[in-house]
Structures are given as structure tokens and as C-alpha cells.
Structure 1
Amino acid sequence: MNAEPVGSASTGASGDPAGDVVRWAVFSCLLVPVVLVVYGSSFAGAVGSAVGLTAVTAVCRLLLRRSERAAAEERALRSVVAQSRRVRPAPAGHRGGRHGGARTPQE
């Protein structure tokens, strides 16, 4: 029986999905120019494509990290609000329920 947690390094999945996306994007930034040159594109065109892909990757990485920070802050805020809203038992004299017939509605 395998005792490793789901998402561990041996399964190939990391706990950082944004990091995985960025790693694949960097790999593509390196691979695309090579493929372009191999299939007959000019070296300058391949370098231009690499620069453009690198710029797009950098902006996407920035936006992903900013989004992750905002989501973490939102989760933390919701956690604090949820903890402050927890129902506390009322004192014995204020528990509600039916009161002994002192006030009944008039028909």
C-alpha cells in the first residue's frame, strides 16, 4: 500500500499549479524558436518570437501570482469573519423558548 499523500512529487503533480503553468511556458519559450529555426524560419524571427513569448510569460506569471495572493487574502478574511460569527451560547436567562403564559395574544 502506498502511504504517500496525493499530489506528492512521485506522482508528478506539485502543489503549485501556477508554477506548473509558468514552467511549461518557459519550456515553450525555449522550444518554439528551435522549432522555427529547424523548419526554415530566420534566426531573427525565431529570436523575436522568443522575446515575445518571454514577455507574455512574464506578464502571465505576474497576474497569476497577484491572483493567488488576492485569493489567499480573501480566504483569510472569510476565515476571520466566520470565526467572529460563531454562535455562542446565550446566558441562562436569555435562551428564549416559550415563556410562562404571562403574555398571550389577544383574539
Structure 2
Amino acid sequence: MPGRSTSPATPAATPAGDTVGDVVRWAAFSCALVPVVLVMYGTSFGGAAAAALGLAAVTAVCRVLLRRSERAAAEAIAAARKREHAKVPGARRGGRHAGRSAPEE
């Protein structure tokens, strides 16, 4: 159909598996685009290269921090699930503890 987009309409429609990768890809695109725009507007090649290197460094640090945050969140979710499972009565104790059921004679 004409005018129909192939990209998802909402962020919820995209798979949530690699959001960090998406951010890093956009940052890399910016690292390439900004120096081109700077040169087009009259900045020296050296200044544009310095800007590109600075953006690349910031992107690398952000990528490391985002991955670390992603791992910490996954570990927190796993720990919460483990605690939730431990709260289920009898889940790790083997069922009921039998007491005296009949009087001794």
C-alpha cells in the first residue's frame, strides 16, 4: 500500500531484547553524522575529528554503563523470583511435617 510504513508504530511493538543495542547504534550514527555536519558548516577537519573522538568515547562509556545496568536488573529479577519461590509453603521442605497422629497405647 502506498504511504504505509514498514517500521513499528509504537515502541511497544519492537522486541525488548536489545534496547541497549538500539541506543548504541543511534549513537554510532550520530558519531558519524556530527563531524560531517560540522565540516559542512565550516569547522576544520581537526575540530570535526576531535568532536567525533569525543562522541565515540562518550558512546563507549554509555554502552558499558547500559550493559552493566542491564545485567544488574536481570540479576535483581532472578533474585526476586528466587525469594518468591522460597516463600511458597512447603516448596523446599518436602511437604508437611508429620506430628503425632494417633494416641499411643
TM over 0.5: yes
* Residues 1-107 of structure 1: pairs in structure 2 closer than 5 A: 11=8, 13-15=14-16, 16-88=18-90
**CA distance in structure 1 between the aligned counterparts of 2:14 and 2:33, rounded to whole angstroms:** 22
Larger-Rg structure: 1
**CA distance in structure 1 between the aligned counterparts of 2:28 and 2:81, rounded to whole angstroms:** 35
Structure 1 residue ranges, 4+ long, deviating more than 6 angstroms after superposition: none
Letter of the aligned partner of 2:14 in structure 1?
Answer: A
1:14 offset after TM fit, Å?
3.9
**CA distance in structure 2 between the aligned counterparts of 1:51 and 1:14, rounded to whole angstroms:** 31
Map Cα deviations across residues 52-95 of structure 1 (whole Å, 9 max, x no partner). Answer: 000000000000000000110111111111101113475687xx
What's 2:3 paired with?
none
Letter of the aligned partner of 1:13 in structure 2?
Answer: T
CA contact (8 A) 1:14 1:20 kept: no
**CA distance in structure 2 between the aligned counterparts of 1:38 and 1:57, rounded to whole angstroms:** 23
Letter of the aligned partner of 2:59 in structure 1?
Answer: T
TM-score (norm. length: structure 1): 0.70
Letter of the aligned partner of 1:41 in structure 2?
Answer: T
1:18 offset after TM fit, Å?
1.3
What's the Cα RMSD here? 2.2
TM-score (norm. length: structure 2): 0.72
Distance 1:14 1:23, change over 3 A: farther
